[in-house]
Amino acid sequence: MTNSGMCKFADDGLPPVGEVIRRYELRAKKSLGQNFLLDLNLTRKIARLCGDLNGETVVEIGPGPGGLTRSLLHEGAAHVVVVERDERCLPALQLVADNWEDQLHVISGDALAIELSELKRFVQGEDNQRFLIISNLPYGIATRLLVSWLEQSAWPPPFSSMALMFQREVAERIVAKPGTKAYGRLAVLSQWSCKVEIGMRLPASAFTPPPKVDSAVVTFKPYEMREPLASAHILGRVTAAVFGQRRKMLRSSLRQVTDQPEKLIEAAGLSPELRGEHVSVADLARMARLLETETEG
Ligand code: SAM
C-alpha cells in the first residue's frame, strides 16, 4: 500500500504494469494516443462502471500493456477480447493471456477496420447475449469509433453497455443538454441512442505519460429502441444542418436538407424561430423521421 492507501500492485500474480512497460520497452507513442494507466486500483474502478462483470464478454479497444485488461479479468469477466494496433504490446498481452488461460483473446489490428458485429462470435451463452465495451480509448480516434458504433443501422446494437474514456471536453459534449455550448451532434447521436452519464473524472496526472488535458469515463446504456424512430443517417444530416449554423433559426438552417423547411418545422410542432442549439434530441429525431417519410413517399 502507498501512503494514500492506493494499492499499486496486482494480486493476479503478474508484475506491476510499470514493470511490464519497462520489461517490454513500451515507450509511449503519441501517434497511437498512448497514455497508460498504471494504477490497478483505478483500472479496477473503471472495470466496475458497467456493473457486475461475472459471466460477461468484454471488448476492450487498445489494451496497451494490459492494466485495464487485467482488471476486467480480475473483476470476473468470462471472456475479454482486446483489439490492439501496436504489435509491441503483444508480448505483454501474452503474459496476461498465459495467466488467464482461455479467457483472453487478442486481436492484433486496427479497431477502425473492425465491424462490431464481427465480435459477436466471441460471446458464449444465449444467442441474444451481448458484449460490453470497456476501454481507455486512443484519443485521436475515440470520437470516430463512438460515432461508427452508434450510427450502425442494426439496433439494439451488439453491446449491452459501454464505459469509455475520452478527453474531458469530449465527454462533456456527449452528455451536454440543449441550450449549452457543448450541445451538438455528438450529444444528439449519443442521447438518442443511449442513456449516458459521466461515470468518473480523471486528472491528466492519472496517466503515464500525462496527456495535456483531463479525462472522463462516460457510461452508455443503449435503449432497446431509439425513439422517435428515425434513420441514424438522416438524423446525422439534420443535426449537421442545424448545428453547422447553430445560432441561426431553424427555418434558415434546415434549408440545407429540405426545400420546405417551414412545412417540416410545423409538422414537428416547433417554432421556425427556434435556434438549433435549443432543439431537443427528441425534436431533432422527429424531424429526421418526417423527412424520411417525405422522401419515402
Ligand atoms: N488500455 C491501456 C491503458 O489504459 O493503459 C492503453 C490505453 S491508450 C490511451 C490507447 C491504446 O490504444 C494504446 O495501446 C494504442 O496502441 C491503442 N491504439 C491506438 N490506435 C488504435 C487502433 N486504431 N486500433 C486499436 N488500438 C489502437
CA of 31 to the centre of ligand 1 (A): 10
Question: What residue's CA is closest to ligand 1, atom 11?
Answer: 62
67 ligand 1 Cβ < 6 A: yes
Q: What's the CA-to-centroid distance between 48 and ligand 1, angstroms?
A: 20
Q: How many angstroms separate the alpha carbon of residue 62 from the centre of ligand 1?
A: 3
The CA distance from 20 to 43, in Å, is 16
Predicted local confidence at residue 153, as pLDDT: 76
Ranges in the chain, pLDDT < 50: 1-9
Burial class (CB in 10 A: 0-12, 13-18, 19+), 147: middle
Q: Best of 84, 133, 135 to mutate for ligand 1, by most ligand atoms within 8 A of CB?
A: 84
Q: Which atom of ligand 1 is nearest to the CA of 69?
A: 1
Q: Is the CB of 68 under 6 A from ligand 1?
A: yes
Alpha-carbon span 114 to 86, nearest angstrom: 15
pLDDT at 297: 57
Nearest CA to ligand 1 atom 14: 64
Provide, for the chain, the percentages of residues in helix, strand and coil under a 3-state DSSP scheme, each rounded to the nearest 5.
Answer: 45, 20, 35
Which pLDDT score is estimated for 125? 74
Q: Measuring from atom 23 of ligand 1, which residue has the nearest CA?
A: 110
Could you give the domains of the chain?
17-222 (3.40.50.150), 232-296 (1.10.8.100)
Amino acid sitting at position 261? P
The three grid cell numbers given for residue 93, joined into one nine-digit string: 498481452
Q: What is the pTM of this model?
A: 0.94
pLDDT at 250: 95
Residue 69: CB partners within 8 Å, gap ≥ 6?
60, 63, 80, 82, 93, 96, 104
Q: Is the shortest distance between the CB of 160 and ligand 1 below 6 Å?
A: no
| Predicted pLDDT at 179 | 94
Closest by Cα among 107, 58, 57 to 86? 107
For the CA of 17, the nearest atom of ligand 1: 5
Nearest CA to ligand 1 atom 19: 32
User: Which of 136, 164, 167 to mutate for ligand 1's pocket (most ligand atoms within 8 Å of CB)?
Assistant: 136
State the Cα–Cα distance between residues 158 and 167, nearest whole angstrom: 25
Residues 146, 157 contacting (CB under 8 angstroms):
no
Task: Give the mutation target among 68, 86, 212 for probing the ligand 1 site: most ligand atoms within 8 A of CB.
Answer: 86
